[in-house]
């Protein structure tokens, strides 16, 4: 039966075009192009290099979190605590340095450990209790929101942290997390580099490593994955720690960019990260998606939210435009994907 | 499980080593303690009975402004020998229930904000009927007397906005941006409308997501890039002024940044000249005066204002006053 071997669909040679159509981020790339062209016509100032740098900055602050959130969604789980975890991470760093009168790098290190521990807690609770991640992380979200406020008030006496700008290590930490690079006369925020690096690392993990296969496997069918020996628990804890790592970077950017952190911030951002991942082609049910897609999703979000400002539309309708653009982008994305799957 | 414990051990050990490794010789808690040693808090200055006053505001969680109001009220309470209870909820219905709870508790005086007057009407009426003196603060200057409160202490948001418009005129500004960090907040709309009334140039509103500083920054930056003729940016809360300064840098604009309300960073910015001016409604005074006036009413049947609101602002603060205020913003009372 040699004929059967050649007709095995996994061994079929597909044309590059076909393969491109099968990529999860294709729909979002088309959507991003549409949004880009739209604003290029709607707003004169949109195409200027400085404006694009602003759009990239806005996208990167979302994108840094959208990458690990996308990985988590591919692994079949949600994290509603991702938004406030960013604020928690910044608060821990700032308050530890201030209260201990320590070099700020010490606070940054402690913050990394604590943030990762919170991520691990999410994953651990999920695996142990078997409750849906929606409930677990909703609990974490509420606890973190309360703790951000409670601890800050308890320790600092006010609802925002004290300034740590005059402390040792601040300038070098700011260089790493919140500096500005000038390329060809245009200023770019360093978060853009962090974002690109995260996308590259996440893509490598997803496509080239065993852990990447595990992520797709647990998101696709958890029981089947466990049956073939995939370490489901470790993979999920790892994914939550990935989100925590992203929150740490975003949080440190927040701290070193603005110096003082407001404890009530971050609520609501978790939805924006999830939206970016979904626009980028991640399925809410898990098992499908890509890191590059999440970046494109974040870019669409950044372009839309800032493009509305560049176009100088009536601000009363801001949220409406934002919602309509997101819906259109996602519909276009879904349509392209359906076409692509039909063509396969 | 054993492996998990090992990891926890390593993490704890790592944290300890890190914290022992590096100390900062500048700033931080140690510097603050030195400052605090100088200014110790006072004790009760009167021997009147220990009355209980409740303050119920419409503050959301983690609002710097209300923190200052609260600290003013607490210091007046300490001085007046008052047992001071503070509670807040940004949902009007919940806030009304908190007022009801205070009435049930038979407190000796109530301080309340009327951000959404209609929702608070019944609760305030119930307090007045129960013979509990009520003072309104911050918002509700129009409804205060009608609802039966003794006095209203606060700033008229429209008047504050008008003061900003006049100051912008004096500074020769032509095109201003009013940055609203909460879409749908009535007080915010009144402030920007007030600016529009007195400002000779044009005013544009910009709505930003107040819970995300990077969004605030990039939105202001985008606006300044889109419209290079904007020469003044007015933020409605102190924390956003510093972010606006960053946005200005990013956009390469030379617009002046002005703000409502005050905090340590704003005072420093005014002193350095990165900010133009701040318009302060003195939240400390709102808390302090409310408690003190309730005490005066209980002790001496005093009332203030003759049915008209007692205004705590707007006070325009520029470079000259900022230096003197820096110390007070640092300790959270201005």
Domain boundaries, chain B: 48-155+282-303, 157-280
What is B48-155+282-303's CATH superfamily?
Response regulator (3.40.50.2300)
Q: Do A54 and B209 touch (CB under 8 A)?
A: no
Q: Would you place residue A106 in the very low, low, confident or very high pLDDT band (cuts 50, 70, 90)? A: very high
DSSP state of B255: P
Q: What is the pLDDT of residues A291-311, one digit of tens each?
A: 999 999 999 989 988 888 888
Q: By percentage, how much of chain A surpasses pLDDT 70?
A: 93
Nearest C-alpha in B relative to A159: B62
Q: What is the pLDDT of residue A13?
A: 67
Q: What is the pLDDT of residue A30?
A: 85
More confident residue, A271 or B34: A271
**Assembly ipTM:** 0.73
Q: Which residues of chain B have pLDDT under 50?
A: 38-40
Q: Would you place residue A5 in the very low, low, confident or very high pLDDT band (cuts 50, 70, 90)? A: very low
Cβ-based contacts under 8 A for chains A and B: 178
Q: Would you place residue A287 in the very low, low, confident or very high pLDDT band (cuts 50, 70, 90)? A: confident
Residues of B with Cβ-Cβ distance to A159 under 8 angstroms: 62-64, 67
Q: What is the pLDDT of residue B17?
A: 59
Q: Please identify among residues 183-202 of chain A the ones whose CB lies closer than 8 Å to any CB of chain B.
A: 187
Q: Is B21 in the A-facing interface, judged by CB distances under 8 Å?
A: yes
Q: What is the CATH number of domain B157-280?
A: 3.40.50.2300
Q: What is the pLDDT of residue A2?
A: 46
Q: What is the pLDDT of residue A135?
A: 94
Across A133-144, average pLDDT: 95
Half-sphere exposure (Cβ direction) of B320: Cα atoms closer than 13 Å = 1
Q: What is the pLDDT of residue A63?
A: 96
CB contact set of A111 (below 8 Å; sequence gap of 6+)? A89, A90, A92, A93, A96, A248, A251, A252
Let me know if A1 is exposed, middle or buried by CB neighbors in 10 A (0-12, 13-18, 19+). Answer: exposed
**Structure pTM?**
0.80
DSSP state of A187: E
What order do you get walking across the sheet with B310-311 strand by strand?
B83-88, B52-57, B109-113, B134-137, B151-154, B310-311
Q: What is the pLDDT of residue A315?
A: 66
Distance from CA of B192 to the nearest CA of A (A): 13
**What are residue B316's DSSP bridge partners?**
B279
Residues of A with Cβ-Cβ distance to B65 under 8 angstroms: none
Q: What is the pLDDT of residue A317?
A: 74
Q: Which residue has the tokens 């906005």?
A: B161
Q: What is the pLDDT of residue A1?
A: 42
Q: Would you place residue A79 in the very low, low, confident or very high pLDDT band (cuts 50, 70, 90)? A: very high
Q: Is the per-residue pLDDT at A260 higher than 90?
A: no
Distance linking the first and last C-alpha atoms of chain B? 52
Task: Report how far residue A36's alpha carbon sits from residue B84's, in angstroms, rounded to the nearest whole number.
Answer: 56
Half-sphere exposure (Cβ direction) of A49: Cα atoms closer than 13 Å = 8
Q: Do A309 and B226 touch (CB under 8 A)?
A: yes
Q: Is the per-residue pLDDT at A6 higher than 60?
A: no
A82 φψ region: left (φ > 0), alpha (ψ -120 to 50), beta (else): alpha
Task: Report how far residue A218's alpha carbon sits from residue A287's, in angstroms, rounded to the nearest whole number.
Answer: 7
**What are residue B65's DSSP bridge partners?**
none
| A51 closest CB neighbour out of B22, B28, B222 | B222
Ordered by where they begin, the domains of chain A are 26-334 (1.10.3470)
Q: Is the per-residue pLDDT at A313 higher than 70?
A: yes
More confident residue, A178 or B182: A178
| B226 closest CB neighbour out of A45, A61, A157 | A45
Window from A192-196, A243-247, A311-315, B132-136 with minimum mean pLDDT: A311-315
Q: What is the pLDDT of residue B63?
A: 74
Window from A26-40, A103-117, A186-200, B39-53 with minimum mean pLDDT: B39-53
Q: What is the pLDDT of residue B15?
A: 58
Residues of A with Cβ-Cβ distance to B250 under 8 angstroms: 53-54, 57, 180, 187
Q: Would you place residue A262 in the very low, low, confident or very high pLDDT band (cuts 50, 70, 90)? A: confident
Distance from CA of A169 to the nearest CA of B (A): 8
Q: What is the pLDDT of residue A329?
A: 73
């Amino acid at each position: 039966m040699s004929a059967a071997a050649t007709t095995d669909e996994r061994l079929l040679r597909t044309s590059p075009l076909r393969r491109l159509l099968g990529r999860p981020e294709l729909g979002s790339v088309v959507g991003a192009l549409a949004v880009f062209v739209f604003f290029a016509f709607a707003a004169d100032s949109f195409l200027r290099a400085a404006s694009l740098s602003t759009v990239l900055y806005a996208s990167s602050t979302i994108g840094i979190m959208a990458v690990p959130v996308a990985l988590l969604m591919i692994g079949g789980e949600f994290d509603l605590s991702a938004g406030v975890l960013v604020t928690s991470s910044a608060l821990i760093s700032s308050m530890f340095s201030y209260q201990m009168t320590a070099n700020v790098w010490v606070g940054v290190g402690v913050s990394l450990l604590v943030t990762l521990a919170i991520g691990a807690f999410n994953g651990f609770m999920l695996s142990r209790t078997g409750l849906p991640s929606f409930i677990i992380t909703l609990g974490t979200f509420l606890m973190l929101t309360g703790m951000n406020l409670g601890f800050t008030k308890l320790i600092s006496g006010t609802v925002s942290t004290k300034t740590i700008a005059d402390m040792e290590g601040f300038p070098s930490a700011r260089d790493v997390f919140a500096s500005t690079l000038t390329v060809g006369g245009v200023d770019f925020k360093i978060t853009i580099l962090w974002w690109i690096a995260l996308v590259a690392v996440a893509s490598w993990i997803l496509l080239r490593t065993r852990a990447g296969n595990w992520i797709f496997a647990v998101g696709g069918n958890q029981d089947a994955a466990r049956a073939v020996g995939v370490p489901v628990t470790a993979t999920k804890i790892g994914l939550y720690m990935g989100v925590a790592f992203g929150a740490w970077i975003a949080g440190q950017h927040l701290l070193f960019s603005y110096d003082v952190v407001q404890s009530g911030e971050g609520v609501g951002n978790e939805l924006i990260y999830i939206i970016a991942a979904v626009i980028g082609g991640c399925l809410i049910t898990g098992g499908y998606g890509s890191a590059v897609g999440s970046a494109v999703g974040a870019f669409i979000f950044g372009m839309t939210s800032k493009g509305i400002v560049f176009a100088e539309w009536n601000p009363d309708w801001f949220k409406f435009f934002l919602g309509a653009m997101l819906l259109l982008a996602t519909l276009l994305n879904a349509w392209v994907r359906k076409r692509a799957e039909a063509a396969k | 499980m054993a492996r998990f414990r090992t990891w926890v051990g390593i993490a704890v050990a790592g944290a300890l080593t890190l914290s022992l490794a590096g100390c900062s010789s500048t700033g931080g808690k140690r510097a603050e303690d030195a400052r605090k040693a100088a200014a110790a808090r006072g004790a009760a200055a009167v021997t009147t009975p220990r009355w209980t006053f409740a303050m119920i505001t419409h503050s959301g969680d983690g609002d710097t402004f209300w923190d200052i109001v609260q600290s003013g009220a607490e210091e007046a309470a300490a001085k007046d020998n008052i047992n001071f209870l503070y509670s807040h909820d940004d949902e009007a219905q919940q806030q009304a229930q908190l007022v009801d709870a205070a009435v049930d508790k038979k407190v000796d005086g109530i301080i309340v904000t009327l951000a959404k007057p209609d929702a608070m009407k019944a609760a305030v009426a119930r307090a007045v009927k129960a013979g509990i003196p009520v003072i309104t603060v911050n918002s509700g200057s129009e409804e205060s007397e009608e609802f039966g409160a003794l006095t209203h202490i606060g700033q008229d948001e429209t008047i504050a906005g008008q003061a900003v418009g006049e100051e912008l005129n004096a500074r020769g500004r032509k095109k201003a941006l009013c940055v609203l960090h909460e879409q749908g907040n009535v007080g915010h709309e009144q402030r920007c409308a007030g600016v529009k009334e007195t400002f000779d140039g044009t005013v544009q509103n910009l709505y930003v997501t107040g819970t995300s500083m990077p969004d605030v920054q990039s939105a202001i930056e985008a606006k300044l890039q889109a419209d290079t003729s904007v020469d003044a940016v007015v933020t409605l809360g102190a924390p956003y002024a510093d972010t606006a300064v960053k946005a200005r840098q990013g956009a390469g604009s030379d617009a002046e940044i002005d703000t409502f309300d005050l905090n340590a960073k704003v005072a420093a910015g005014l002193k350095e000249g990165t900010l133009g001016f701040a318009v302060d409604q003195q939240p400390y005074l709102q808390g302090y005066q409310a408690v003190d006036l309730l005490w005066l009413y209980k002790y001496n049947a005093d009332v203030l204002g003759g049915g008209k609101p007692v205004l705590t602002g707007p006070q325009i603060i520029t470079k000259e006053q900022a230096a003197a205020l820096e110390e007070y913003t640092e300790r959270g009372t201005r």
